[in-house]
Each structure stands twice: as C-alpha cells, then as structure tokens.
Amino acid sequence: MAHLHFTRQLARFLDVPSVDVAAPCLRAALDAAFARHPRLRGYVLDEQGALRANVVIFIDGARCRERRMLDDALRPDSQVYVLQALSGG
C-alpha cells in the first residue's frame, strides 16, 4: 500500500494522519485519505480540486508532475509526502 505522510505544518490546523491506501494514482490516494479525514481536503486542494498553490507533493522523492489532474502513478510501496510551503522571515 502507498503511504501518505501529511507534514507537521498542517498540524497547526487539524490532526494530521499518516494514511496507507491501495491506489493506482495520486488523485485516488488523496481521495481515499480525504474520505477518512474530510477536513484535510480543504487544506490540500482548492475549490476546483487542484493542488493549492502553497502545497507541494513528493512521490518517492520526486515532485508530482501535474497539479490539477494529480494523475501521477503510484507503486504499491510508494511514499507520498504532502507539504505546505513555509514563508516568513
């Protein structure tokens, strides 16, 4: 199963889980995580279902290719990291 890690920046707003899912692509994996933790969706995706501008996802060490369709393929043992960009000084 692919393992989704939601980084600690999100913990300021809600309980951030790590989620194991059986999914062929990133969109399906995120949908499975959001089904279990609905509030998480609004922090990761915008109103059109695309990745928010301040969110980056890495799959097995490489940045996801597509921010709208989120159709990057996952392997059964993929490690997916969902990060919010940090700003400030």
Residue 87 has pLDDT above 70, yes or no: no
The reported pLDDT for the residue numbered 17 is 74
**Range name among 4-8, 9-13, 55-59, 71-75 with the lowest pLDDT average:** 9-13
From 62, 41, 59, 58, select the one nearest 50 (Cα to Cα).
41
The answer to whether 18 and 46 have CB atoms below 8 angstroms apart is no
The confidence band for 4, taking pLDDT boundaries of 50, 70 and 90, is very high
| β-pairing verdict for 18-21 and 55-59 | unpaired
pLDDT tens column, 21-73: 999 999 999 999 999 989 899 999 999 999 999 999 999 999 999 999 999 99
The reported pLDDT for the residue numbered 1 is 93
